[in-house]
């Protein structure tokens, strides 16, 4: 029961956080990289062109990857980096509250992504499904190898098979 609860919580968290990031990333893509670069320049973000491209891509692609549960730790770490930059260079001086330009939203999003990077996205996503498929294949392979090594009972006498190397 605990495992299912974790998987459901991870799914809800991934999708909710992913939707927020996709929305913000899409909004930035709609305005264009030049506009985002100008905005980052006005906010004093170092390397504004590079930061704009990274942030736009991390939010849109990383958010989509969270939603489907693919490469969750990598996507989440990219988003943590984007939120750390937003915290350090834009929101920290403004206090906590988002209404004052503060860091509460980037802090919450970054913290959620940090947890996802640490624990993964659960079984209800592409990573979880892929892991389960590979685990079943490995188990079937191990069972087949064990069966191939098992003694054969012929006329009440146990004989071992000789396995040839491939």
pTM flag (> 0.95): no
Q: What is the pLDDT of residues 56-80, one digit of tens each?
A: 999 999 999 999 999 999 999 999 9
Q: What is the pLDDT of residues 9-60, one digit of tens each?
A: 999 999 999 999 999 999 999 999 999 999 999 999 999 999 999 999 999 9
Q: How far is CA 13 from CA 7, 25, 42, 68, 85, in A?
A: 10, 18, 33, 12, 22
Alpha carbons 47 and 8: distance in angstroms, whole number? 39
* C-alpha closest to that of 18 among 91, 126, 142: 126
* C-alpha closest to that of 10 among 74, 66, 79: 66
Q: Using an 8 Å Cβ cutoff, are 136 and 117 in contact?
A: no
Alpha carbons 63 and 14: distance in angstroms, whole number? 8
Note the pLDDT of residue 153. 67
Q: Using an 8 Å Cβ cutoff, are 18 and 64 in contact?
A: yes
Place of tokens 């350090």: 88
How confident is the model over 119-128, as a mean pLDDT? 96
């Amino acid at each position: 029961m605990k495992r299912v609860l974790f998987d459901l919580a991870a799914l809800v968290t991934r999708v909710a956080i992913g939707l927020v990031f996709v929305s913000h990333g899409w909004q930035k893509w709609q305005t264009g990289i030049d506009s985002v670069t100008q905005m980052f320049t006005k906010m004093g973000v170092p390397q504004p062109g590079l930061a704009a491209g990274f942030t736009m891509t991390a939010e849109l692609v990383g958010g989509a990857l969270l939603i489907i549960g693919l490469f969750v730790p990598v996507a989440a770490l990219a988003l943590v980096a984007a939120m750390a930059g937003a915290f350090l260079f834009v929101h920290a001086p403004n206090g906590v509250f988002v209404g004052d330009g503060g860091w509460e939203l980037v802090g919450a999003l970054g913290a959620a992504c940090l947890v996802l990077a640490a624990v993964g996205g659960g079984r209800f996503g592409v990573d979880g499904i892929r892991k389960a498929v590979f685990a079943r294949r490995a188990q079937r392979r191990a069972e087949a190898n064990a069966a191939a090594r098992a003694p054969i009972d012929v006329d009440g006498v146990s004989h071992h098979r000789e396995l040839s190397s491939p």
